[in-house]
Amino acid sequence: MAKLLLGKEVNASLNEEIKEKVAKLKQEGVTPKLGIIRIGEREDDLSYERGATKRCETLGVACEKFVLPADVEEAQVLETIEKVNKDEEIHGVLLFRPLPKHLNEDKIINTLAVEKDVDGITDLSMAGVFMGKEMGYAPCTPSACIEVLDHYGIDCTGKKVVVVGRSLVVGKPVAMMLVKKNATVTICHTRTVDMSSVVKEADIVVVAAGKAGVVDGSYLREGQVVLDVGINVNEEGKLCGDVNFEEAEKIVEAITPVPRGIGGVTTSVLVSHVVDAAIAKKNQK
Ligand code: NAD
Protein backbone atom coordinates (compact mmCIF):
# COMPACT_ATOMS: atom_id res chain seq x y z
CA MET A 1 0.00 0.00 0.00
CA ALA A 2 1.19 3.50 -0.82
CA LYS A 3 2.53 5.82 1.86
CA LEU A 4 0.04 8.66 2.43
CA LEU A 5 1.46 12.16 2.08
CA LEU A 6 -0.73 14.00 4.57
CA GLY A 7 -1.46 17.71 4.56
CA LYS A 8 -1.66 17.86 8.35
CA GLU A 9 1.92 16.61 8.69
CA VAL A 10 3.15 19.26 6.25
CA ASN A 11 1.06 21.90 8.02
CA ALA A 12 2.44 21.01 11.44
CA SER A 13 5.95 22.19 10.53
CA LEU A 14 4.74 25.00 8.25
CA ASN A 15 2.46 26.37 10.98
CA GLU A 16 5.25 26.30 13.56
CA GLU A 17 7.36 28.51 11.29
CA ILE A 18 4.40 30.85 10.71
CA LYS A 19 3.67 31.12 14.46
CA GLU A 20 7.29 32.04 15.22
CA LYS A 21 7.26 34.75 12.54
CA VAL A 22 3.91 36.12 13.77
CA ALA A 23 5.13 36.24 17.38
CA LYS A 24 8.22 38.22 16.30
CA LEU A 25 6.11 40.61 14.22
CA LYS A 26 3.73 41.18 17.12
CA GLN A 27 6.65 41.99 19.44
CA GLU A 28 7.53 44.68 16.94
CA GLY A 29 3.97 46.01 16.92
CA VAL A 30 2.83 44.50 13.60
CA THR A 31 -0.20 42.22 13.21
CA PRO A 32 -0.21 40.59 9.78
CA LYS A 33 -3.57 41.02 8.07
CA LEU A 34 -5.30 39.36 5.14
CA GLY A 35 -7.95 41.20 3.13
CA ILE A 36 -10.53 38.90 1.50
CA ILE A 37 -12.50 40.24 -1.47
CA ARG A 38 -15.45 38.06 -2.40
CA ILE A 39 -17.96 38.83 -5.14
CA GLY A 40 -21.19 36.89 -4.77
CA GLU A 41 -21.92 33.79 -2.69
CA ARG A 42 -20.41 30.84 -4.60
CA GLU A 43 -20.24 27.78 -2.35
CA ASP A 44 -16.60 27.04 -3.40
CA ASP A 45 -15.54 30.56 -2.38
CA LEU A 46 -17.43 30.41 0.91
CA SER A 47 -15.87 27.09 1.79
CA TYR A 48 -12.32 28.32 1.03
CA GLU A 49 -13.07 31.56 2.90
CA ARG A 50 -14.13 29.61 6.02
CA GLY A 51 -10.92 27.57 5.90
CA ALA A 52 -8.70 30.61 5.35
CA THR A 53 -10.40 32.66 8.10
CA LYS A 54 -10.08 29.81 10.58
CA ARG A 55 -6.42 29.22 9.73
CA CYS A 56 -5.68 32.94 10.08
CA GLU A 57 -7.33 32.96 13.51
CA THR A 58 -5.36 29.93 14.69
CA LEU A 59 -2.08 31.47 13.56
CA GLY A 60 -2.69 34.99 14.91
CA VAL A 61 -3.24 36.65 11.54
CA ALA A 62 -6.04 39.22 11.27
CA CYS A 63 -8.65 39.07 8.51
CA GLU A 64 -10.97 41.66 6.96
CA LYS A 65 -13.70 40.75 4.48
CA PHE A 66 -14.96 42.88 1.61
CA VAL A 67 -18.10 41.26 0.23
CA LEU A 68 -19.65 42.63 -2.97
CA PRO A 69 -22.89 41.52 -4.68
CA ALA A 70 -22.65 39.23 -7.74
CA ASP A 71 -24.04 42.03 -9.97
CA VAL A 72 -21.55 44.62 -8.69
CA GLU A 73 -20.33 47.25 -11.15
CA GLU A 74 -16.73 47.07 -12.26
CA ALA A 75 -15.96 50.54 -10.89
CA GLN A 76 -16.88 49.42 -7.40
CA VAL A 77 -14.62 46.37 -7.59
CA LEU A 78 -11.72 48.55 -8.79
CA GLU A 79 -12.45 51.00 -5.97
CA THR A 80 -12.32 48.18 -3.41
CA ILE A 81 -8.98 46.99 -4.78
CA GLU A 82 -7.55 50.52 -4.70
CA LYS A 83 -8.76 50.75 -1.10
CA VAL A 84 -6.97 47.57 0.03
CA ASN A 85 -3.88 48.58 -1.97
CA LYS A 86 -3.69 51.80 0.06
CA ASP A 87 -4.62 50.24 3.43
CA GLU A 88 -1.40 50.21 5.49
CA GLU A 89 -2.83 47.53 7.82
CA ILE A 90 -3.58 44.98 5.08
CA HIS A 91 -0.51 43.03 3.96
CA GLY A 92 -2.03 40.51 1.58
CA VAL A 93 -5.21 40.12 -0.46
CA LEU A 94 -7.24 37.09 -1.51
CA LEU A 95 -9.61 37.81 -4.42
CA PHE A 96 -11.87 34.91 -5.34
CA ARG A 97 -12.07 33.86 -8.97
CA PRO A 98 -13.56 33.28 -11.43
CA LEU A 99 -15.21 36.69 -11.29
CA PRO A 100 -18.77 37.11 -12.63
CA LYS A 101 -18.72 37.19 -16.45
CA HIS A 102 -19.69 40.89 -16.78
CA LEU A 103 -16.42 41.97 -15.11
CA ASN A 104 -13.06 42.45 -16.84
CA GLU A 105 -11.09 39.92 -14.80
CA ASP A 106 -7.74 40.78 -16.35
CA LYS A 107 -8.08 44.48 -15.57
CA ILE A 108 -9.34 43.85 -12.03
CA ILE A 109 -6.65 41.33 -11.12
CA ASN A 110 -3.84 43.51 -12.39
CA THR A 111 -5.05 46.49 -10.36
CA LEU A 112 -3.96 44.62 -7.23
CA ALA A 113 -0.58 45.78 -5.87
CA VAL A 114 1.93 43.01 -6.58
CA GLU A 115 3.42 43.21 -3.07
CA LYS A 116 -0.04 42.29 -1.68
CA ASP A 117 -0.69 39.56 -4.24
CA VAL A 118 -0.34 36.67 -1.76
CA ASP A 119 -2.40 34.32 -3.96
CA GLY A 120 -0.16 34.87 -7.01
CA ILE A 121 -2.88 35.99 -9.43
CA THR A 122 -1.37 39.09 -11.06
CA ASP A 123 0.63 38.95 -14.28
CA LEU A 124 3.67 40.19 -12.37
CA SER A 125 3.51 37.38 -9.81
CA MET A 126 3.11 34.87 -12.63
CA ALA A 127 6.07 36.43 -14.47
CA GLY A 128 8.08 36.02 -11.27
CA VAL A 129 7.33 32.28 -11.27
CA PHE A 130 8.21 31.87 -14.96
CA MET A 131 11.35 34.03 -14.81
CA GLY A 132 12.56 32.74 -11.45
CA LYS A 133 12.52 36.31 -10.12
CA GLU A 134 11.20 37.42 -6.75
CA MET A 135 8.15 39.42 -7.83
CA GLY A 136 4.90 39.06 -5.91
CA TYR A 137 4.07 35.53 -4.73
CA ALA A 138 3.73 32.15 -6.39
CA PRO A 139 0.15 30.84 -6.52
CA CYS A 140 -0.72 28.96 -3.33
CA THR A 141 -1.71 25.53 -4.71
CA PRO A 142 1.47 24.97 -6.78
CA SER A 143 3.46 26.19 -3.76
CA ALA A 144 1.58 23.66 -1.61
CA CYS A 145 2.71 20.86 -3.98
CA ILE A 146 6.32 21.96 -3.51
CA GLU A 147 5.85 22.14 0.28
CA VAL A 148 4.60 18.53 0.29
CA LEU A 149 7.59 17.31 -1.74
CA ASP A 150 10.03 19.24 0.47
CA HIS A 151 8.43 18.10 3.72
CA TYR A 152 8.69 14.44 2.75
CA GLY A 153 12.25 14.87 1.44
CA ILE A 154 11.29 13.95 -2.13
CA ASP A 155 14.18 15.23 -4.23
CA CYS A 156 13.17 16.42 -7.71
CA THR A 157 16.65 16.71 -9.19
CA GLY A 158 16.88 14.75 -12.42
CA LYS A 159 13.44 13.17 -11.85
CA LYS A 160 10.89 12.85 -14.63
CA VAL A 161 7.77 14.76 -13.59
CA VAL A 162 4.49 14.71 -15.48
CA VAL A 163 1.94 17.44 -14.73
CA VAL A 164 -1.61 16.75 -15.92
CA GLY A 165 -3.33 20.09 -16.59
CA ARG A 166 -2.09 23.35 -18.07
CA SER A 167 -4.09 26.03 -16.25
CA LEU A 168 -2.46 29.19 -14.94
CA VAL A 169 -3.82 28.39 -11.48
CA VAL A 170 -2.03 25.06 -11.10
CA GLY A 171 -0.56 23.22 -14.11
CA LYS A 172 1.73 25.78 -15.73
CA PRO A 173 3.11 27.40 -12.56
CA VAL A 174 3.72 24.07 -10.80
CA ALA A 175 5.60 22.86 -13.91
CA MET A 176 7.86 25.94 -13.77
CA MET A 177 8.44 25.52 -10.03
CA LEU A 178 9.42 21.89 -10.59
CA VAL A 179 11.83 22.89 -13.37
CA LYS A 180 13.40 25.27 -10.85
CA LYS A 181 13.86 22.23 -8.60
CA ASN A 182 15.81 20.56 -11.42
CA ALA A 183 13.11 18.12 -12.54
CA THR A 184 12.55 17.23 -16.20
CA VAL A 185 8.93 18.22 -16.69
CA THR A 186 6.27 17.21 -19.21
CA ILE A 187 2.84 18.88 -19.24
CA CYS A 188 -0.20 16.83 -20.37
CA HIS A 189 -3.55 18.32 -21.35
CA THR A 190 -6.77 17.44 -23.14
CA ARG A 191 -5.00 17.13 -26.52
CA THR A 192 -2.19 14.88 -25.25
CA VAL A 193 -2.03 11.63 -27.21
CA ASP A 194 -1.63 8.39 -25.26
CA MET A 195 -1.52 10.14 -21.88
CA SER A 196 -1.32 6.86 -19.97
CA SER A 197 2.10 6.03 -21.51
CA VAL A 198 3.38 9.54 -20.75
CA VAL A 199 2.19 9.39 -17.12
CA LYS A 200 3.64 5.90 -16.66
CA GLU A 201 7.10 7.22 -17.57
CA ALA A 202 7.06 9.71 -14.68
CA ASP A 203 8.78 9.39 -11.32
CA ILE A 204 6.49 12.09 -9.90
CA VAL A 205 2.94 12.77 -11.18
CA VAL A 206 1.03 15.98 -10.37
CA VAL A 207 -2.62 15.78 -11.39
CA ALA A 208 -4.67 19.00 -11.74
CA ALA A 209 -7.25 18.28 -14.43
CA GLY A 210 -10.45 18.98 -12.54
CA LYS A 211 -11.97 15.60 -13.52
CA ALA A 212 -12.55 12.79 -11.06
CA GLY A 213 -10.61 9.63 -11.86
CA VAL A 214 -8.84 11.04 -14.94
CA VAL A 215 -5.75 9.12 -13.85
CA ASP A 216 -6.54 5.52 -12.92
CA GLY A 217 -4.44 2.46 -12.16
CA SER A 218 -3.68 1.82 -15.84
CA TYR A 219 -1.66 5.10 -15.96
CA LEU A 220 0.49 4.22 -12.96
CA ARG A 221 3.38 1.97 -11.99
CA GLU A 222 5.33 1.00 -8.88
CA GLY A 223 7.69 3.54 -7.34
CA GLN A 224 5.84 6.68 -8.39
CA VAL A 225 4.94 9.63 -6.17
CA VAL A 226 1.50 11.05 -6.96
CA LEU A 227 0.24 14.50 -5.95
CA ASP A 228 -3.51 14.76 -6.51
CA VAL A 229 -4.55 18.42 -6.67
CA GLY A 230 -8.11 17.81 -7.86
CA ILE A 231 -11.14 18.59 -5.74
CA ASN A 232 -14.35 17.03 -7.07
CA VAL A 233 -17.61 15.80 -5.61
CA ASN A 234 -18.43 12.22 -6.62
CA GLU A 235 -21.85 10.63 -7.26
CA GLU A 236 -22.22 9.85 -3.55
CA GLY A 237 -21.64 13.52 -2.71
CA LYS A 238 -18.19 12.86 -1.27
CA LEU A 239 -15.01 14.82 -2.00
CA CYS A 240 -12.57 13.07 -4.31
CA GLY A 241 -9.49 13.92 -6.33
CA ASP A 242 -8.56 13.59 -10.00
CA VAL A 243 -6.81 10.26 -9.36
CA ASN A 244 -8.66 6.98 -8.79
CA PHE A 245 -7.35 6.63 -5.25
CA GLU A 246 -8.46 3.02 -4.61
CA GLU A 247 -6.53 1.81 -7.65
CA ALA A 248 -3.55 4.13 -7.23
CA GLU A 249 -2.79 3.36 -3.59
CA LYS A 250 -2.31 -0.32 -4.42
CA ILE A 251 0.31 0.53 -7.05
CA VAL A 252 2.35 3.65 -6.34
CA GLU A 253 4.91 4.38 -3.62
CA ALA A 254 3.30 7.50 -2.18
CA ILE A 255 0.16 9.58 -2.79
CA THR A 256 -1.68 12.62 -1.40
CA PRO A 257 -5.27 11.62 -0.50
CA VAL A 258 -8.28 13.86 -1.21
CA PRO A 259 -9.36 15.25 1.19
CA ARG A 260 -6.44 15.44 3.71
CA GLY A 261 -3.79 16.14 1.07
CA ILE A 262 -2.82 19.26 -0.86
CA GLY A 263 -5.98 21.30 -0.07
CA GLY A 264 -5.19 22.09 3.58
CA VAL A 265 -1.59 22.96 2.75
CA THR A 266 -2.81 25.56 0.23
CA THR A 267 -4.44 27.52 3.08
CA SER A 268 -1.27 27.42 5.19
CA VAL A 269 0.77 28.66 2.23
CA LEU A 270 -1.68 31.56 1.82
CA VAL A 271 -1.25 32.56 5.48
CA SER A 272 2.54 32.18 5.26
CA HIS A 273 2.55 34.53 2.25
CA VAL A 274 0.57 37.13 4.26
CA VAL A 275 3.12 36.89 7.06
CA ASP A 276 6.02 37.18 4.60
CA ALA A 277 4.33 40.24 3.04
CA ALA A 278 4.08 41.81 6.51
CA ILE A 279 7.78 41.12 7.13
CA ALA A 280 8.72 42.57 3.71
CA LYS A 281 6.71 45.73 4.44
CA LYS A 282 8.28 46.15 7.89
CA ASN A 283 11.78 45.73 6.44
CA GLN A 284 11.06 48.42 3.85
CA LYS A 285 10.48 51.06 6.53
P1 NAD B 1 -8.89 24.09 -14.96
O2 NAD B 1 -10.20 23.52 -15.37
O3 NAD B 1 -8.63 25.55 -15.11
O4 NAD B 1 -7.75 23.35 -15.78
C5 NAD B 1 -7.74 21.96 -15.93
C6 NAD B 1 -6.64 21.57 -16.89
O7 NAD B 1 -6.64 20.15 -17.00
C8 NAD B 1 -6.77 22.13 -18.27
O9 NAD B 1 -5.53 22.65 -18.67
C10 NAD B 1 -7.13 20.94 -19.15
O11 NAD B 1 -6.47 20.96 -20.40
C12 NAD B 1 -6.63 19.77 -18.34
N13 NAD B 1 -7.50 18.60 -18.49
C14 NAD B 1 -8.84 18.53 -18.27
N15 NAD B 1 -9.29 17.29 -18.54
C16 NAD B 1 -8.22 16.57 -18.93
C17 NAD B 1 -8.06 15.24 -19.37
N18 NAD B 1 -9.10 14.40 -19.45
N19 NAD B 1 -6.82 14.84 -19.72
C20 NAD B 1 -5.77 15.70 -19.64
N21 NAD B 1 -5.88 16.97 -19.25
C22 NAD B 1 -7.08 17.40 -18.90
O23 NAD B 1 -8.66 23.62 -13.45
P24 NAD B 1 -7.61 24.15 -12.35
O25 NAD B 1 -8.05 25.46 -11.83
O26 NAD B 1 -6.21 24.00 -12.85
O27 NAD B 1 -7.86 23.09 -11.19
C28 NAD B 1 -7.60 21.72 -11.40
C29 NAD B 1 -8.14 20.92 -10.24
O30 NAD B 1 -7.48 21.33 -9.05
C31 NAD B 1 -9.63 21.15 -9.97
O32 NAD B 1 -10.17 19.92 -9.50
C33 NAD B 1 -9.65 22.15 -8.85
O34 NAD B 1 -10.81 22.03 -8.04
C35 NAD B 1 -8.43 21.73 -8.08
N36 NAD B 1 -7.83 22.82 -7.31
C37 NAD B 1 -7.43 22.50 -6.07
C38 NAD B 1 -6.85 23.45 -5.28
C39 NAD B 1 -6.35 23.04 -3.92
O40 NAD B 1 -6.07 23.89 -3.11
N41 NAD B 1 -6.20 21.76 -3.66
C42 NAD B 1 -6.69 24.74 -5.74
C43 NAD B 1 -7.06 25.05 -7.05
C44 NAD B 1 -7.63 24.06 -7.83
Query: How many angstroms is it from 212 CA to the middle of ligand 1?
Result: 10
**What region does 124 belong to: left with phi over 0, alpha with psi -120 to 50, or beta?**
alpha
Query: How many angstroms is it from 89 CA to the middle of ligand 1?
Result: 34
C-alpha dihedral over 108, 109, 111, 114, to 10 degrees? 170
List pLDDT tens digits, range 129-149: 999 998 999 999 999 999 999
Beta strands 225-228; 254-255: pairing state: parallel
Confidence band of 284 (pLDDT split at 50, 70, 90): confident
The DSSP-derived string for 75-132 is: HHHHHHHHHHHH-TT--EEEE-SSPPTTS-HHHHHTTS-GGG-TT--SHHHHHHHHHT
pLDDT confidence of residue 4 = 98
% of residues, the chain, pLDDT over 90: 96
pLDDT confidence of residue 9 = 97
pLDDT confidence of residue 256 = 98
Report the C-alpha gap between 125 and 133 in whole angstroms. 9
Nearby residues of 6 by Cβ (< 8 Å), 6 or more positions away: 256, 257, 260, 261
pLDDT confidence of residue 179 = 97
> Phi and psi dihedrals of 232, rounded to 5?
-130, 165
List pLDDT tens digits, range 96-125: 999 999 999 999 999 999 999 999 999 999
Query: How many angstroms is it from 246 CA to the middle of ligand 1?
Result: 20
Which of 49, 121, 141, 167 to mutate for ligand 1's pocket (most ligand atoms within 8 Å of CB)? 167
Q: Please say if the pLDDT value at position 17 is more than 80.
A: yes
Q: Is the CB of 83 under 6 A from ligand 1?
A: no
Q: Please say if the pLDDT value at position 173 is more than 80.
A: yes
% of residues, the chain, pLDDT over 70: 100
> Does the predicted TM-score (pTM) go above 0.85?
yes
Q: Is the CB of 199 under 6 A from ligand 1?
A: no
C-alpha dihedral over 112, 115, 119, 125, to 10 degrees? 90
Q: Please say if the pLDDT value at position 282 is more than 80.
A: yes
Confidence band of 235 (pLDDT split at 50, 70, 90): confident
> Phi and psi dihedrals of 284, rounded to 5?
-70, -30
Q: Please say if the pLDDT value at position 66 is more than 80.
A: yes
Q: Please say if the pLDDT value at position 285 is more than 80.
A: no
pLDDT confidence of residue 250 = 98
Confidence band of 31 (pLDDT split at 50, 70, 90): very high
Question: Which residues partner with 225 through β-bridges?
Answer: 204, 254
Query: How many angstroms is it from 123 CA to the middle of ligand 1?
Result: 20
Q: Is the CB of 97 under 6 A from ligand 1?
A: no
**How confident is the model over 76-87, as a mean pLDDT?**
98
Atom 36 (ligand 1) nearest CA = 230
Q: Is the CB of 229 under 6 A from ligand 1?
A: yes
Q: Please say if the pLDDT value at position 274 is more than 80.
A: yes
List pLDDT tens digits, range 201-234: 999 999 999 999 999 999 999 999 999 999 999 8
Report the C-alpha gap between 92 and 32 in whole angstroms. 8
Ligand 1 atom index nearest CA of 44: 34
Q: What does the angle CA 217 – CA 222 – CA 225 come to, to the nearest 5 degrees?
A: 85
Which of 190, 198, 207, 226 to mutate for ligand 1's pocket (most ligand atoms within 8 Å of CB)? 190
Report the C-alpha gap between 224 and 251 in whole angstroms. 8
When the pLDDT of each residue in the chain is averaged and rounded to a whole number, the result is 97
**How confident is the model over 61-83, as a mean pLDDT?**
98
Query: How many angstroms is it from 49 CA to the middle of ligand 1?
Result: 20
Which of 44, 96, 170 to mutate for ligand 1's pocket (most ligand atoms within 8 Å of CB)? 170
